[in-house]
Structure 1
């Protein structure tokens, strides 16, 4: 009996098709029904939302109707609302206090518990008034002193960003305290000034750093107070240690420091000269022999001196006839050495003496000392030393740099007795009178190399110049040196401005830049040295260095990077006990502020996280809410999103405050309205920031901690700068900026001092006319001196009043004392004194006789005009008009050239931007194509693996089928 396996398999497959096909059809039908139900449900949701929209419109209409009613009885409602707010605040405080005292037996026990709590957790959730009262003691003291800007000490009141006092950089200086113990705290150090009767507003601790086995503290205070303090604190002991005080100039970020050459070394003269010595020439038979002898004798010690032996070079002039090529020159010999002594050493009898540096050393040293002391050398500072056995050096210090220069001029002429030179001419080293230095990274120098080269080119040897020195440690030292402080000042300000670079605003900042400076620098510079980027972590800002075009391109790349980071999703972990707060109110607050799709709360993960999209403002807002959630969880308070039981009205939007923020004055704000009010304050000049409640009549200042909670650190620092600038602009009669271009220093006009000296550019300014100092002249005389037009007007007025006229040809002032009206000028012109007409020498008398009735007198007999051919003034006027026209044409050409250059630069920048965008798009396409190729590769690989598995399955099935057939096959038998 033979069984057919194939028919069984076919039947089984048909059954499976019928069975599973029916099942699949059934599933598809169920899915279709489910989709229909979903569609119906979504339609219902849409209808519901439409109803909600209609209801909200009705609410808006009703609120609009209520606005008119509220305006009519605003006074009455204000009083009732104020009473309700107060009652509501008291009720919340009592309920919160009741919850806190749930397990306490008395009020004293609750106070002990509160004192043991962390300050951060002792704040209630929403009320800013109670939050301020629960802050740590002395937090507002940190805001009494706040440094803003360059070399300015700004003191702010702890509320409202109101400027309390400004100490300009002109009036500031530093006191440096040295030899302090390493374990001395800042409080102990500042107590040194408090014990002298100084208030905290009179000084500020700038820095405190370790230096060896001690500490060095630097304070900032007024110059006159610093000098008095330095005298009063002299020989003061601190923990049995004698501390030292130094009064210096004002210091600020990015400013150059005066090196040691600006103090002692700038007044130290150095003179170097050769000691008396003899020189001889030894001649040999061959050049090779001379070379061998020179090598053997060079460096040999003879009579205590190390001689020098070199091949004798051919001299110029008549001495060339005695020159022999096979000869050597021996120098630094003792002046008493004879030629026969050298013959035995040199191995030749052809030795002769030549002109040498011989003089009386003792007489020269005596003359040098007397000369320096006569020119003002400080007694006891003159010293001489020997250098290398063949030279000497003398140093001397002077009280004034002018005396040093006079002494140097005498030394450069050499020592003389009458007209005879009696000694050498020393090399005189005159240090620069002023020397300022600053160090920058080498990458920054490379990015600004073109600007540094332009600044140093052609200035060396002038009264003020820039010198640059590259060090091996990756730093570049910039020197500003010179002898004229008035020229050094503006140059120093330019160098400081170039070193400081361009500080970018808040639109070019993201918090991640503080940790990824190197990666950001590589991304912005794109592998080139044309731009350098630095992160200022103190101000949370970026500084860019380089050419104008490179900086503009770098700012564009930074802005794109900030936008890219703002679109990324950030995760902020939150504690489990804070989830309830975010579910109840916090999540909705963030959605209202950042957008519905930009905030999600993940509670399904093991660690609860808050996911949000946005920049630093969004992160700042979320972190503030996280802190509030921790405070709410610890205090057992859970406010609702609509926690506004008394119906308080926001002073900004005049609507019921949503997510209210209660200030210390009792007025409630919508949180978005308060945030917008604080962030937009930097664009106005109305300070201090006050409450807008009671129809903008509350005017209670908003505290600085509240402002800081709603602003990022960089925006807060920018707001401080705006407050300071607004304060200076609102007090133009009291504060003014330094007159030097690019100098940001300010000075106070009403100090009683006649002149002010800028600590940055060293320019002196008159406090009366606010112009350059004019010692020996009044302000009016200085104004006239600096105004050529006014000088010309006064000169013409004086000339008319004193019967003085100008020559019509050369315009020189001419005075007539006697004689006829025929005037002859030095320029060769002959003109009439009455009408100032120019004539030939032979015709001028005829003119005076016919036009004026004679050669003398001032009467005009005839009104006939002067012949235009003989009148030279018309020619001068025409020539001046021609010159003016040429100047206007040249100015127009330059303006057109500047416009064209600007268009070319803008076109180049636009082309570069488009090229960069095209390169980015090409890179994106390349990456997408590469990914697509990889995807196709992996898909083909997956299909190949699937086919391989199918083939293996088919082969295994075939093998199994054959084995089964073999088992089922019958055997034949024969029946006999």
Structure 2
């Protein structure tokens, strides 16, 4: 028998769970599957050269950096950040881009910055539906958005920017847009079997897809069945301007009718369940006076549902319905009746609290529990359980059966399910430190693989780059051991660079200190002379030294040297 699994995209990773939310595997492919029709990829393999000396061809830049240039093109970004004359250079690996960035910025006349890029590969119909929302989100932070039609009716949506935080923020917004709306039941409806996330396997068949297409055309929106994540997703083109709440409400009702028709015939036990609706005196009189009772009787005759005559209890009128729970809930919703409750005998009380009726029955072991005790059990599992691997087990002391995924999705809220999934991932990471690590940014919960073939991991959530071998920031031109030794000095050097006291020699990358009173400095390693103001090298002469001496004594301005024939770099 095949293992029932559930796929979820959580905190930048693709996870697969089985019963009890036990983690089966984590997918670290470069393309993450948001849905069955949308994937996402992030990288920082490109740099932007927005200032460069004349004659700096691509071949010369390649000689300067030593990296394998994958592509080069003229850049363009709104709000004046990128201009058409700038050059965007793309490398195959992020370490090559970091190395090029370091070397070019140390050369005279070059100013470069890393580019953060997010690629979304989505179906054409989805992009067309949410195009306006994507453009609005990108323009809010002044980022650059491009679209490119690919094969098989796929569209590549490329988001590019210079600021890591801004790109990461808009990426999260894009992911939410591309995931669309998925219909889930409300808190008070969670006892309704089969309607937890409005999904049925028939939606992944040809007949189900045809029904969803007709369903979407009726309301001018895109409705797709996501078999991987077992959800029906809605994409509304006019989210900001249309009445999207009423659209979703209408969709929910239609989906409920469809699922009710797909449900198998109820078991004999379900047909014999007794449900009670209690009326106060005025409400019951209103039902009789307005003819509602006659309509209810007509509906019950169609369903072949039997009722027991009303009885008086503590001033309340009780009407008992003998049928499956779905029918009496639908009856109460259609006619505005009070919520029904299950008539539970004394022996069917919750075994945990021994007070409330045990309304929930676990599929794997058939143990019963009330809703409040079930919620407390899940909360305890998410905070206090130390089982390895993580599994949400039955609450009964003598039972070790994991709770089925269908039960978790049917009885627990969406937030509770997400919390348990995150706990399962975190437990796996904590118990396997040699295989997995968390992103080095403290506020991020994304995970990466330590034995990966990639030298640099880029977090798909916050876009932070990390060395996969030592877990520290990337350190091109140094091994992990060397970087550990020089790291304290690097922090001090960055402090000086920020103050403007230290720069790198454009010839040999030796650290140079600000000459303060002098307008030039001589490198102690390669002995070249460098103008501190523009970092250009020059060959000194006797006349130039004489002019520099006058400048240092305040007898001549610096422009005398820079504009003189002997002072030109």
Specify the TM-score bucket, using the shorter chain as the normaliser: 0.3 to 0.5
Larger Rg: 1
TM-score of the aligned structures, taking structure 1 as reference length: 0.28
Q: Which has the higher strand share?
A: 2
Which structure has the higher relative contact order (CA within 8 Å, separation 6+)?
Answer: 2
TM-score of the aligned structures, taking structure 2 as reference length: 0.43
Q: Which has the higher helix share?
A: 1
